[in-house]
Amino acid sequence: MSSLVVDNVTVSRGAGPVIANVSLTVTPGEVTALVGPNGAGKTSLLDGISGVVGVSGGRIVLDGDPIEKLSRVARVKRGLLHIEQGRAVFPSLTVRENLSLTARTGADMDAAIGRFPELEKRINSPAALLSGGEQQMVVLARAFAAKPRFLLIDEMSLGLAPVVFMRLLPYVEELAQSGAGVLLVEQFTHLALGIAREALVVAGGKVGYHGPASALRDDSELLHRAYLGGSAA
Amino acid sequence: MLQGALAGLAAGGLYAALAVCLTLMSRLVRVVNFSQAATGMFGAFVAVWLVTAAGLPIWLGSVLGILLAGALSAAIGWIAATWLSEASTTARSAMTVGPLLLLISLSFILFGNKPQPFSPILGGPAFEFGGVVVSQVTVVMVLLAVVVAVAVQLILTKTAVGTQLRALSERPTTAELLGIPSKPLSIAVWAATGVISAIAIVIVAPSQSNDATSLAMLIVPASAAALLGGFTRPGLAVVGGLALGVLSGLVAQIEEVALIRNFLPFLFIVVLLLWTQRKEVWDSAR
Amino acid sequence: MGYVLSISLSGYFVFFAVSAVTAAIALLGLGIVTGSAGMIALCQLTFAAVGAWVVSLLNVMEAPGGFIVWLVAGGIAAGAAGILVGLPALRLRGVNLAVVTLGFAAAADVTLQQIQFPGSKDGIPVERPDAFSDDRQFFFFSVIVLVVCALGVFWLQRSRWGASWKSVAFSERGTAAVGQSVRTAKLTAFAVSAALGGVSGGLLAGQVQLPFPSSFTPIQSLALYVLAVMSGTQLIDMAVFGGIMWVLVPELLKRFGIPQDWGFVIFGALGVQALTSGTNLGEEIRNAWWKRRGRVAPRSGTTAPVEAAPASAGPGARGLDDRGGTHDGGSSPAAAPSPSSPLAAGTAGSGRPAHGLALAVDHLTVQFGALKALDDVNVEVPAGTVMGLIGPNGAGKSTFVDAISGFLPQATGTMSLGGTPLKGLSPTHRARLGLRRTFQQDRVPPSLTVGAYVRFVARRHVSDAELADVLGFFGCPSAGTRLSTADIGTRRLIEVAANVAAKPSVLVLDEPAAGLSHEEHVALGERLRTLPSTYGMSVVLIEHDLDLVRAVCSQLTVLDFGKVLASGPQDEVLANPAVIKAYMGETEML
């Protein structure tokens, strides 16, 4: 069975480690939530997994092979897709061109657009002219077209109204149901925990909790302690 | 007057072609390539050597020289893509000063610092206009500049590779995270502009002052022209190049202002910078 | 030493030695522009030509004062030329300056070949000073000029100008935000550099007595630039080293029968190496030296700053360890650290309004394309308070900071600082008026020491005691520490400390605690709470930790999707049903 294993990984920027000794496994078909206060190093961890930055320690194993030394593009070729923070669209490219970057065939493209009726109408307008929610739909449609086996999503809700974000979340679940293993970083903790099976809380560069998401959902005291950086695991 | 203007048009076409290359480089691979003209110059000099010293036919020598320029440019691009992939435009551009210096000096060593015995590929008049003879070189140069600009526009907007290149230029990291191979693509852009610069220089060099320094320093009028298009629009770069060529042709006609001619590209740059920067702009990154 | 050299070297070498000295002076100038200020200047020898031309002209005119006065005039003329050339290019980034300077070099080169140097057609040699007329004496003279220039540069590098050069190289925004004009910083760097180029050229005119354009070609300017970058000539010893290389490499090649042009090929290749690796010889040598001496910033990793604070911190260093994570929200003045006298005393009589509004923002709107990042925002910061600015990520908090500090000229609406309208003022101007801000990103120039940085940011005289005091208060490393050795969290603390030392009327802090541990975070909050009473400034604090916000902020503004959801005294805002609904429900933990 395919798997993405993060084994004791440390990511450093500048003078010191931002996030240290994190281990986790992303399981296909499931959402794993990664939550924690700002500055805890969540983004850095995703960056390390996808190769935006190098990891300074530990291993990242995809289907049994270490990938931490591979280039970003090589990691994508192995089925890893990283959706960055903010709205990772190419503003001057049209919606269609944005999707064409990951769609290998016309059928993939049509299937991806078919999921987002809102985008169909605006298929030829530059992504810059879309609303924030629509831009995030382009990003999700691009992910559908890419058919990744593992998907890293960083703060999809940034700058979106919770109502808009809540409409996008089912798509994330759908991506997982289609077989992708999703690692979801999210500031709206409860929404993220709502669709996740497993969850990690990181604070101050360390893992404060690692276990079932439901436990955090039901026990706000546990979540609180994990956020403050105590080891609640 | 007309004669002066038309005389400057060939040089204008050269400026325009180089300016399109500079624009492409700036837009797609985030660099102002100071060695743009120098790589073309070096390829052209090698072509001359292959023809005069090695006795190759002129077309073969030219093709080999042009390909060498493409390879040289690709090599510089490889350096930029390998070690400066995350560096700022300024840092990447500064790096190209090294190859500029290196190529000029190397051509002094290999070919001397005198003008080269270019045998013209094109010669003779194309047609007469208002009593003034227009040479074939002029026609071909202007056409080359326009064709390159149009081709660039078509490739960028109509092809899959073009879409990928535009994506890379807007958000390089995001593009790579979607699996777009940034390194091979950027090196290809470097190689292509190296080839185009060399073609332009091989065509025009026989009718210009063609010592190593003069040809390498074509980067100055070329960047003046590219600046008209803000280093982003190839069409305006062509207009800028042709205008600058015509203007210096005109100025050369008038004795009293001949000294200004040297400063024309410089003044062009200064005026454009003052105009484009009349509003305060904060770089998003710094 | 120069004198000893001047009498011991053979005549042949004396000529080369003078060449090395002139190159060293030109490199010293380039070091300022490229090394300190981080710009690309490709016409240093054109400025040298200006200097040489002026000296030759004054010589032909038999102007009064003799060579030394002419040399100074040459330097001034080149500096003025530098300002003229640099002015159009300095508004934006370094690449423009590179294009302009290369254009200037190319144009001047052709022109110079046409007009030649004054007196060269008639063969009128430049007259050297009487006391230094033979070659050996002139070498001694050139060494004196080099020493004077080096001392001048040494002094300038440690002055406000020097700090502004290093700051602008790292971040233009960071420079403007502390009240330093970006343009002035760049222009002074460029003008000083050009003036040194002019002096170098003037000296060369005295050396060869009949200067020719071939000594000042663009190619040589390019080579000099590359040499400056690879040896790191912002360091004075490296400029001298570069000067020696400038004459030694071609001379050695000549001895071995190799064409001298190989020298520039070597420079070109080494330059690419230096420019791609972003390092230079001088800094590498110094880093190796510093490493051997083992000087590292005291604070590292997750060590609490309070523990690492220097002894001079006094009561301020008595952190909150005993209080641990129990920040109960109630105020406990006894635990609040307070700095010892000088800094606080200085503020007491500064005549700032203790009541009224420190900052008033009305109808502030910022639009990015189709997106309204801020929509009709009204915020009032009463004097002497700490106002918390909270809201989810992407709500527009950082945009708000950028807008009030002047970085978004397209912002509409009105803002006033203690009654002074801010509309249309540049970030630099606003900072000088007493509105200071810090950044979420690292904008602390690593090439400065902590002390030099704090003094640069403060924009006023800060005594050593006062400096140690404010650094101690925030638990920062000592003044002599180099910023490059401090980790990111510490640098941001230093940024806060430096801006406090500037004694602004309003200080806006954009997530100052990101990158700190929880304990450090709480400790910083406690210190910030005391700023209004001890320093008389109002604070706007962007912060995610609601517990901390409760403990520190008396006023609160909640931003949500670019709009103000609620604003006012903390308890009122937190009791506001809209706030509870939109903010607390979902993101209570953030």
Q: What is the pLDDT of residue C158?
A: 92
Tell me the average pLDDT across C524-541. 91
pLDDT tens profile C8-22: 767 778 888 999 999
Report chain A residues whose CB lies below 8 A from the CB of C394: 86, 157-160
**Does residue C326 belong to the interface with chain A, where contact is any CB pair within 8 Å?**
no
Percent of chain B with pLDDT over 90: 58
Tell me the average pLDDT across C411-430. 92
Q: Which residue has the higher pLDDT, C88 or A95?
A: A95
Contacts across the A-C interface (CB distance below 8 Å): 76
| CA angle, C87 then C93 then C94, to 5° | 85
Helix (H, G, I), strand (E, B) or coil at A71: coil
**Does residue A17 belong to the interface with chain C, where contact is any CB pair within 8 Å?**
yes
Report chain B residues whose CB lies below 8 A from the CB of C220: none
> Which helix (H) or strand (E) element contains residue C202?
helix C182-208
Identity of residue C282: G
**Does residue C324 belong to the interface with chain A, where contact is any CB pair within 8 Å?**
no
Does the beta-carbon distance from C172 to B286 stay under 8 Å? Answer: yes
| Rounded Cα–Cα distance for residues A150 and A64 (Å) | 14
- Name the residue among B163, B170, B181 with its Cβ closest to that of A73: B181
pLDDT at B130 over 70: yes
Is CATH 1.10.3470 what the domain over B2-274 is classified as, yes or no? Answer: yes
Contacts of B158 (CB under 8 A, 6+ apart): none
pLDDT tens profile C163-189: 999 999 888 899 999 999 998 999 999
Identity of residue C217: T
| CA angle, C507 then C511 then C514, to 5° | 140
Domain ranges of chain B: 2-274
Strands A16-26 vs A65-66: parallel, antiparallel or unpaired: unpaired
Tell me the average pLDDT across C74-94. 84
Closest chain C residue to A37 measured between Cα atoms?
C590
Distance to chain A for B164, nearest Cα, Å: 7
**Does residue A189 belong to the interface with chain C, where contact is any CB pair within 8 Å?**
yes
Question: Tokens standing for C348?
Answer: 């007491």
pLDDT tens profile C132-168: 888 889 999 999 999 999 999 999 999 999 999 999 9
pLDDT tens profile C423-439: 889 999 999 999 999 99
- Name the residue among A50, A82, A92 with its Cβ closest to that of B166: A92
Within chain B, where are the H helices?
A: 2-29, 36-52, 58-83, 89-95, 97-111, 136-158, 160-170, 172-177, 182-204, 212-216, 219-228, 234-253, 258-276
Q: How confident is the model at residue C581 (pLDDT cuts 50, 70, 90)?
A: low
Q: Are the C-beta atoms of residues C47 and C194 closer than 8 Å to each other? A: yes
**Does residue B75 belong to the interface with chain C, where contact is any CB pair within 8 Å?**
no
For residue C421, give the DSSP letter. Answer: E
pLDDT at C317 over 70: no
Does the beta-carbon distance from B263 to C111 stay under 8 Å? Answer: yes
**Does residue C487 belong to the interface with chain A, where contact is any CB pair within 8 Å?**
yes
φ, ψ dihedrals at A73, nearest 5°: -65, -40
Q: What is the pLDDT of residue C94?
A: 60
**Does residue A126 belong to the interface with chain C, where contact is any CB pair within 8 Å?**
no
pLDDT tens profile C385-395: 999 998 877 78
Report chain A residues whose CB lies below 8 A from the CB of C545: 37
Q: What is the pLDDT of residue C578?
A: 80
Q: Domains (ranges, CATH) in chain A?
A: 4-90+148-227 (3.40.50.300)
Q: What is the pLDDT of residue C376?
A: 93
pLDDT tens profile C361-409: 999 999 887 778 899 999 999 999 999 998 877 788 889 999 999 999 8
Q: What is the pLDDT of residue C195?
A: 97
Tell me the average pLDDT across C429-453. 92
Q: What is the pLDDT of residue A14?
A: 65
Residue by residue, what is the 3-state secondary structure of B70-132? Answer: HHHHHHHHHHHHHHCCCCCHHHHHHHCHHHHHHHHHHHHHHHCCCCCCCCCCCCCEEEEECCE
Q: What is the pLDDT of residue C345?
A: 39
* Chain B residues whose C-beta sits inside 8 Å of any chain A C-beta: 160, 163-164, 166-167, 170-171, 173-182
Q: What is the pLDDT of residue B276?
A: 76
In order, the DSSP letters of C447-477 are TSBHHHHHHHHHTS---HHHHHHHHHHTTPP
Q: Hey, of B163, B178, B185, B232, which one would you mutate to test binding to chain A, going by the most A CBs within 10 A of its CB?
A: B178
Q: How confident is the model at residue C30 (pLDDT cuts 50, 70, 90)?
A: very high
Question: Tokens standing for B148?
Answer: 């390159």
Helix (H, G, I), strand (E, B) or coil at B11: helix
Report chain C residues whose CB lies below 8 A from the CB of A38: 393, 511, 514, 544, 590
Q: Are the C-beta atoms of residues C479 and C522 closer than 8 Å to each other? A: no
**Tens place of pLDDT per residue across chain A (233 aa):** 688 999 999 998 766 778 889 999 999 999 999 988 777 788 899 999 999 999 998 999 999 899 999 999 999 999 999 999 888 899 999 999 999 999 988 899 999 999 999 898 889 999 988 888 899 999 999 999 999 999 999 988 887 777 788 889 999 999 999 999 999 998 888 889 999 999 999 887 788 888 899 888 888 778 877 776 544 33
Q: Which residue has the higher pLDDT, B53 or C11?
A: B53
Q: What is the pLDDT of residue C82?
A: 93
pLDDT at B283 over 80: no
Contacts of B271 (CB under 8 A, 6+ apart): none
| Rounded Cα–Cα distance for residues C457 and C61 (Å) | 48
Tell me the average pLDDT across C486-511. 91
Q: How far is CA B13 from CA B17, B117, B149, B239, in A?
A: 6, 22, 12, 9
Q: How confident is the model at residue B152 (pLDDT cuts 50, 70, 90)?
A: very high
Report chain B residues whose CB lies below 8 A from the CB of C100: 266, 269-270, 273
Evaluate if pTM is beyond 0.90.
no
Average pLDDT across chain C, whole number: 83
Q: What is the pLDDT of residue C281?
A: 84
Tell me the average pLDDT across B66-94. 92
